[in-house]
Every structure is written in structure tokens, then in C-alpha cells.
């Protein structure tokens, strides 16, 4: 009986600690704490730029692979699918070797900067954007291409028709890529160094606060991260629904 009472008391304490931390985190996020806003700003700036660059390269590459008749097409797709499972720490280590002081690009002083984080995140999501674009393009009915050709469309016009039909799949690829980079921690920690006010992102700050035993800021950042992901998916679903109608 005493053991049961002790276990029940510990459970009550744990729940009380959770709700207290959650309430404090909500107040911190609602008050627009300057430190929290700086961390969110850095995360959004780095992740958005990395996603845009990966999209500018990955979408045309995915279209060329899916739409064209390239030699070794199957091998390229297999390689891209393999790279989807590449751990972030492997990419971080790979980039670190090149941009460290002893690396080829060491004189550029890229290590522990936002540029280094962008490079790493770009390499992380480029295979994702490309592979998902290939999948989206491949699902487009071949009759769209033939109809466009019959109506006198040139190569560019035919490509635009195909891209228009695959736009939701491509948009989903971009959103998935953004979600991948904004939630990663290995690259940001290894290449950014978690420098306060400069390279500290939401995920690295959450890990730091956890190590310190301070959960308020970590929980607040987690709430912001979930809100950003939810907002992007809601906007995407609304746009998809309006276009469908």
C-alpha cells in the first residue's frame, strides 16, 4: 500500500510538473520573448533559404529525370531514394571536412556560420525534393503530353502543362523538405555551433535547454515549431481545396 501511494504521488508530481512547464511555455511564447524570437528568426531564415535553393535545383532535376530518357535512369532514382535515409550527422561531417580550417574551403571561414548550415541543409533536402518531384511527374497521365503536342505545343509549353498537373505533388515535396530541415539538429549543431543570436536554431536551443534542465524555453520552441508546421499544412490544404473546386 505505501508503495502504491508513493507511485501515485510521483505520478501526480510528474503531471503537475508537465502542466506547469506547458503553462510557462505558453506564456513565454505569447509574450514574444526576444530570445525566443531571435531563435525562431534564425531557424526560419536558414531553413527557408535552404529549401528555396534545393527547390530551384531539385524540381528541374526531378522533371528532367522523370520526363527525359536518360541513361542509367533507374540507377539515379535508386541513388536518390537511398540518400533519403542519409543521417544528418553524416552530411554534417561531410561538409565539415570541406569547410574546416584544414579543408579545401577553409579560407572562406564558413564553419559556424549560417551559410554553412544552409549548405548542409541544402544537401540534406536536395535528394528529397528531386525524388518527390520525380514521383509527382511520373504520376501525370501521358495523355496530357500527347494532347499538348497535338495542339502544337513546343517542349517548354508541354513541360509547363505537365508541371501544372503535378503542382500539388511538387508543392508537397517543397513543404516536406522545409519540414525536414527546420526540424533537423545534427547539421545545425555540427556546422552552426549553436552560437546564441547567430546560429542557434529551435532544435539546437531545445537540446541545450534540455541539457540545462530548463524546459520552459524548450517547450515554447516546440510549440512554435509545431505551429509553423501546422500552419504550412493548413495553407497547403486550403490552396489545394480551392484549386480543386
Tell me the domain boundaries of the chain.
38-201
Alpha-helical runs (H) found in the chain: 2-30, 34-67, 73-83, 88-99, 114-138, 142-150, 155-165, 167-182, 186-187, 202-212, 216-244
Give percent of the chain with pLDDT exceeding 70. 88
Q: 22-36, 121-135, 222-236: which has the minimum mean pLDDT?
A: 22-36
Report whether 121 contacts 50 (CB < 8 A): yes
At 78-128, the pLDDT tens digits run: 999 899 888 899 999 999 999 998 889 989 999 999 999 999 999 999 999
pLDDT exceeds cutoff 60 at 169: yes
Q: To the nearest whole number, what is the mean pLDDT of the chain?
A: 84
Q: In terms of CATH architecture, what is 38-201?
A: Orthogonal Bundle (1.10)
Cell of 35: 530570445
Amino acid at each position: 500500500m505505501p508503495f502504491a501511494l508513493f507511485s501515485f504521488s510521483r505520478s501526480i508530481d510528474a503531471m503537475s510538473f508537465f502542466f506547469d512547464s506547458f503553462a510557462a511555455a505558453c506564456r513565454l511564447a505569447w509574450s514574444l520573448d526576444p530570445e525566443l524570437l531571435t531563435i525562431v528568426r534564425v531557424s526560419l531564415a536558414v531553413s527557408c533559404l535552404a529549401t528555396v535553393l534545393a527547390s530551384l535545383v531539385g524540381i528541374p532535376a526531378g522533371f528532367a529525370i522523370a520526363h527525359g530518357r536518360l541513361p542509367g535512369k533507374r540507377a539515379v532514382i535508386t541513388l536518390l531514394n537511398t540518400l533519403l535515409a542519409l543521417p544528418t550527422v553524416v552530411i554534417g561531417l561531410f561538409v565539415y571536412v570541406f569547410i574546416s580550417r584544414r579543408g579545401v574551403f577553409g579560407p572562406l571561414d564558413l564553419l559556424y556560420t549560417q551559410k554553412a548550415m544552409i549548405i548542409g541543409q541544402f544537401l540534406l533536402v536536395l535528394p528529397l525534393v528531386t525524388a518527390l518531384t520525380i514521383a509527382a511527374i511520373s504520376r501525370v497521365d501521358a495523355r496530357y503530353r500527347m494532347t499538348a503536342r497535338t495542339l502544337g505545343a513546343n517542349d517548354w509549353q508541354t513541360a509547363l502543362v505537365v508541371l501544372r498537373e503535378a503542382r500539388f505533388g511538387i508543392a508537397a515535396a517543397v513543404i516536406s523538405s522545409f519540414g525536414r530541415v527546420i526540424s533537423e539538429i545534427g547539421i545545425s549543431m555540427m556546422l552552426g555551433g549553436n552560437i546564441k543570436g547567430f546560429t542557434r536554431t529551435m532544435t539546437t536551443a531545445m537540446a541545450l535547454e534540455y541539457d540545462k534542465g530548463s524546459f520552459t524555453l524548450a517547450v515554447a520552441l516546440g510549440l512554435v515549431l509545431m505551429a509553423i508546421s501546422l500552419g504550412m499544412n493548413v495553407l497547403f490544404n486550403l490552396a489545394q481545396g480551392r484549386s480543386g473546386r
